[in-house]
């Protein structure tokens, strides 16, 4: 009979034990959280974004900028492959696209309401 304990080297819990060393998994989580935060922040602040004349980075900041730095640093330190780096940077591009689309929507609505930015 084969024993499948928690600490065997090839069990399904291996991912959890090596999570701290797996930069890819952490970056994927960061990307997912950044996406959620962009969507939630937009829903919470879109009317403020229309009315206020504060810079975009104050009201509704980009989430991709700091992640790009983390990704590049992890790649330079050898913790990510070039393929992973490129894939994650593409996801950062997607985050930027979401952010940009949200601001276009807000500016269009502000213009429609006669509010200048």
The Cα angle at residue 91 between residues 60 and 75, in degrees rounded to 5: 110
Domain ranges, residue 81: 23-113
pLDDT digit string, tens, across residues 57-107: 899 999 999 999 999 999 999 999 999 999 999 999 999 999 999 999 999
Residue 64 lies in a domain: yes
Residue 2 lies in a domain: no
Half-sphere exposure of 22 (CA within 13 A, CB side): 11
Percent above pLDDT 90 for the chain: 68
Rounded average pLDDT over 50-54: 86
As for how many domains the chain has, the answer is 1
Residue 65 lies in a domain: yes
Residue 68 lies in a domain: yes
User: Which residue stretches of 60-81 are H helix?
Assistant: 64-76
Assess whether pLDDT exceeds 50 at residue 17: no
Assess whether pLDDT exceeds 60 at residue 8: no
Residue 5 lies in a domain: no
Q: What predicted TM-score, i.e. pTM, was given to this entire model?
A: 0.77
> Mean pLDDT over all residues of the chain?
85
The pLDDT value given to residue 13: 42
Token pair for 56: 């975009």
Rg (CA), the chain: 20
Residue 4 lies in a domain: no
CB 64 within 8 A of CB 93: yes
Residue 18 lies in a domain: no
Residue 12 lies in a domain: no
């Amino acid at each position: 009979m084969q024993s499948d304990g928690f600490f065997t080297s090839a069990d399904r819990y291996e991912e959890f034990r090596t999570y701290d060393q797996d930069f890819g998994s952490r970056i994927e989580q960061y990307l997912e959280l950044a996406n959620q935060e962009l969507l939630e922040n937009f829903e919470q602040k879109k009317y403020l974004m229309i009315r206020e004349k504060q810079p975009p980075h104050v009201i509704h900041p980009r989430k991709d900028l700091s992640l790009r730095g983390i990704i590049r640093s992890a790649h330079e330190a050898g913790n990510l492959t070039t393929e992973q780096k490129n894939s994650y940077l593409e996801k950062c591009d997607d985050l930027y696209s979401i952010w940009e689309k949200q601001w276009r929507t807000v500016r269009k609505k502000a213009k429609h309401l006669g509010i200048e930015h």
